[in-house]
Structure 1
Amino acid sequence: MSDTLASGILVSALLRRVNDAGGMGMVRARGDADSGAILMILNDGPGRSRLVERGRDSLGKRALIAAGPSGASDPMACDTYWRRRRERDPDLWVIELDIPSAERFAAETILDD
């Protein structure tokens, strides 16, 4: 048995926290409820978007890892990237967070190690 929470529960908790804090969080694509990877589009302010995903760092600890093409602040590039990822991995969750300090909300909620 795994000691990590299911992806669906982590996503629900993250969206609730962001929405309760006055931001907006939405599911762009629903993944596997138990073990789907989580890719996030973080919108920290006007024109400041980037992609990160939950993964493991070089020490094996859970971390938010930069994802997507370089110059991923381009909304079309971000959209193209996650849609291609979904074609290869239909279990992938794609979450968009629109709140200042979006990375902090994500890290506090879905990094469980």
Structure 2
Amino acid sequence: MTRLPAALEVAGLVRATAAAGGFAMVLHKGEPDAGVILVVGVDREWLGTLYERMPDPAGPRRWTAVRAQTADARREFDEYLDRRKLQDPDLWLVELTIADVERSILNAG
């Protein structure tokens, strides 16, 4: 299966989120063709959940929640994102504020 260029996939996420009445912002631009894409879904309490595509033995890679921000550990979540950007400057970091983030990323990507 051929993978879409990362920049095109991120643009699709942004457009699909806007079309569904949400808000999307690219927090970090990565390598246009093959950068890893991380999505932070922001909920009504302004807390984030980090989603990343993970290998799935049953088939293609799937979006998986890998880390959740808590009200008493907001800084740790942001520090984790900063470390990921330092470890992999080619990654894309996209923030989505929409009612159903999982549905949005599954439909867009």
The TM-score bracket by the shorter chain reads 0.7 to 0.9
TM-score by length of 1: 0.84
Checking the alignment, whether the CA contact within 8 Å between 2:36 and 2:90 is kept in structure 1 is yes
Structure 1 gap ranges (5+): none
3-state SS in 2 of match to 1:66? strand
Structure 2 gap ranges (5+): none
Deviations along 1:59-110, whole A, 9 cap, x unmatched? Answer: 2422012223xx5334322211111001010001000000100111011111
TM-score by length of 2: 0.87
Checking the alignment, whether the CA contact within 8 Å between 2:17 and 2:96 is kept in structure 1 is yes
User: Partner residue of 1:43?
Assistant: 42
Deviations along 1:10-49, whole A, 9 cap, x unmatched? Answer: 1000101111221110001001110000111111322442
Query: Does 2:62 match 1:72?
Result: no
Checking the alignment, whether the CA contact within 8 Å between 2:47 and 2:69 is kept in structure 1 is no
Partner Cα distance (2:83, 2:15) in 1: 27
The CA RMSD over aligned residues, in Å, is 1.7
3-state SS in 1 of match to 2:17? helix
Q: Which amino acid aligns with 1:101?
A: D
3-state SS in 2 of match to 1:108? helix
- Runs of 4+ aligned residues of structure 1 deviating over 4 Å after TM superposition are none
User: Partner residue of 1:108?
Assistant: 107
